Every structure is written in C-alpha cells, then in structure tokens.
Amino acid sequence: MNTFSMNVSAPPADATQGSLLLIVDDVPVNLAVLGDLLHGAGFKVKAASSGALALRYAAQEPRPSLILLDVMMPEMDGYEVMRQLRQNPDTRDIPVIFLTALDHARDEERGFQHGAADYITKPIKPDVVLARVKSQLQAKLARDWLSDQNAVLEAEVVRRMAENELIQTVSIRALAHLAETRDPETGNHILRTQSYMRLLAHRLREHPRFSATLDEPYINMLASSAPLHDIGKVGIPDSILLKPGKLSAEEWTIMKTHARLGSDAIEQAERDIAQPVKFLLLAKEIAHWHHERWDGQGYPDGLAGDAIPLSARLMTLADVFDALISKRVYKEPMGFEEARAIIAAERGRQFDPDVCDAFLSGFAEFTEIAIQHRDGH
C-alpha cells in the first residue's frame, strides 16, 4: 500500500519564547508595567497607546502572535478594535486577551462574544498574566501547526489525485492505441474524436435537454472515456478488420460484435476491481451503443431516441464525422463540406436532432480540430 510521510512532531513546549506581543492601553503607566513584565519573561513587546495605532501595528510585519487589549479607551474602545481586527484577513486570526477593570460577569461574557480568546481583570496579577499569555501562545502554536499539517496533507492529496488522473489517462490511451494497432490507418482518430466529444458537450451544456447532465465533471469523464469506444476491435479478425473491399453479410455480422466485445471487456474490468468507477460506466456506454441510431435502425440492440445514452449519441456523431473525412483501407477521405451534407441529411435519422444541430452550427470549430490533428501531424 502506497503511503506518504508527514512531520507529525508537535511544537516544543518552549516555542513561545521570543514571541512578539502587542499590548494596547491608553495609560502609559499600564503599558510600562505590562511591558516590563512580558520583557522579563522573554517576550518581544510592541506597545500602542490607542486603538487606531493598535490596528496599524497589528497589520505590520512581523505580525504579533498575541494582542493584550485594554477595553476602556477613548475614541476607539477595545470592542471596536476587536471588530476591525476580525474584519481584516491579515489580523483576524491573531488571538486577543482583553484587559479591563470591568469585572462583572456580563462584561466578561461580552468580551468573549466579541471574539476574545481570554479575559483578564485589572489590577493585573503577574503570574496570572504570564500563565494566560503562555497558554494562548501555546494554543496558537498548536493551531498553526495543525493548519500547516492540513496544508501539507491537502497538497499531497491534490498531487496524488493529479497523479491518479494521469495514470488513468495514460492507461486509457494505451488501451486505445492497442486497439489502433489492429487498424493502423486511423492515426489521430483518438485525439480528434475526443476533442469532438468535448466540443459537442460544451455546445450542448446550456440546452434544456442536456443541462442537468452536462456539467464539467461529466464532460471531463466523457472526454476521458471516448478513446475506448472501439476497444472491442481487438477481438475482430484481421481478415475482416483490414479487408479493403466490401464486407460480406457474414463478415459484417462479425464486425458488428466489436461494440459488445468492447463493453464486455470494460464490464469485466469493473468486476475485477470490485467497485464502480464512474468514467468506466461512460466508457461502457460509449463502447456498447455508439453504433445505435436515433431511428432505432442501429446495432447491437436497436435502441432508439433517448433510450440511447447521451454519451453514445455524442460519440456516434463524432465517430461518423471522423470516419467520413479520414482515409480507411476501404475508402479515400471525404471533403469537409460533403461530410457536413451527409450528417445534415441524417438529422433525426442516425443522429439526435439537437446533437446534430450543435455540430452543424459549430461546424467551423470541428473542422479546425480535424485540421489540427490530421493524420501525419
């Protein structure tokens, strides 16, 4: 089982030494007394004599690890300072200890309601102040450490997901190219049909019939699954697959089995891993039903209309367009306009009318894809 390691050592007990503290009080004597106490305990101290100055110092680098804030100050009291600290993304996470001569329970409750981490009443008791300061600094260190660990974990999860998606893409391409080795003249067919599918889906995503299905995750899975549409051709004999002339009735019957062979292979892969994989469901739909027709005259099951899965309806048009404009052992490539005319004539017969309309209205974009990924480039 693949695992990854993380630094799980908790911050050391003395890690609070040297922390920068901001003390805020409008009485100079109070600032001096508190500053001497904290300096003597090994902390760095910055002092502010007003709320406005406190806000400025709190936002400067290096930011304080903790603020000791007097409540009763002129012009801007501690509650307003706290409110503005919490509104600023740069200061909202700095813990604040309220210092006040107000010792009623309701005053303490109000302090906590405003977001104070702790509440110390005046006159201050040095041992109490130091104990509360160290406690809040340790708590902040623990929160910061946990946040860092979570960030590392999230980054690793993102990396692993990207790696898994890459492995999935490479695996799909490898299988699809394996199928193509049986039919070497298809060239860049995989890249073209995959791009056609993505473009068709994006052109239809706001359509009332398809908007509930065609969200971005579905479209991505659709494009990922498309290369497996002809995987079943590996089970077709070369004498049929590579025959330059017209297939006999018996040969055509065998050729048509590639749709079911492909979906059966994907279904077997699902059984092997013993759990559903969403993109394999789409791959199975595409492989099985991409030769069905809107009018019910396709194969292998003769499905018609909306009974044909949307994924397969999109693949049908993408596959037919590419087959028409590409060279095959049994034919020469067709021009774009001639291919367009044939597809337009099959609207409502071979193709879902709305899918066909999306293709025809964006025809220039589809031809650009065909040119970009034409065989030999």
The verdict on residue 2 lying in a domain is: no
Name the 3-class secondary structure at 337: helix
Same domain, 134 and 190: no
Provide the CATH number for the domain around residue 95.
Answer: 3.40.50.2300
Domain membership of residue 29 (yes or no) is yes
Same domain, 98 and 224: no
pLDDT at 62 over 50: yes
> What does the pLDDT look like over 187-216, one tens digit per residue?
588 889 999 999 999 999 999 999 999 999
104 and 196, same domain (yes or no): no
Residues 72-96, mean pLDDT to the nearest whole number:
91
Q: Is residue 13 part of a domain?
A: no
Work out whether strand 20-24 and strand 66-70 pair parallel, antiparallel, or are unpaired: parallel
What local confidence, expressed as pLDDT, does residue 324 receive?
95
Backbone angles phi, psi at 351, to 5 degrees: -115, 145
Structural domains in the chain (count)? 2
Kindly tell me if the per-residue pLDDT of 168 is higher than 60.
Answer: yes
Average pLDDT, the chain: 86
Evaluate if residue 5 carries a pLDDT over 60: no
- For 209-254, what is each residue's pLDDT tens digit? 999 999 999 999 898 888 888 888 888 898 998 888 889 999 999 9
**CATH assignment at residue 255:** 1.10.3210.10
Q: Structure pTM?
A: 0.59
Q: Which domain holds residue 237?
A: 181-372
How confident is the model over 268-324, as pLDDT tens digits? 877 777 666 777 888 899 999 999 999 999 999 999 999 999 999 999 999 999 999
- Asked if residue 185 and residue 146 are part of one domain, the reply reads no
**Could you tell me if 363 and 231 lie in one domain?**
yes
Band (pLDDT 50/70/90 cuts) for residue 69 is very high
- CB 290, CB 319: distance < 8 Å: yes
What is the residue type of 30?
Answer: N
Using the predicted structure, report yes or no on whether residue 3 has a pLDDT greater than 60: no
235 belongs to a structural domain: yes
Of 109, 129, 150, which residue is a domain's last? Answer: 150
pLDDT greater than 90 at residue 169? no
Q: What is the mean pLDDT of residues 18-35?
A: 91
Residues 250 and 331 in one domain: yes
The answer on 141 and 200 residing in a single domain is no
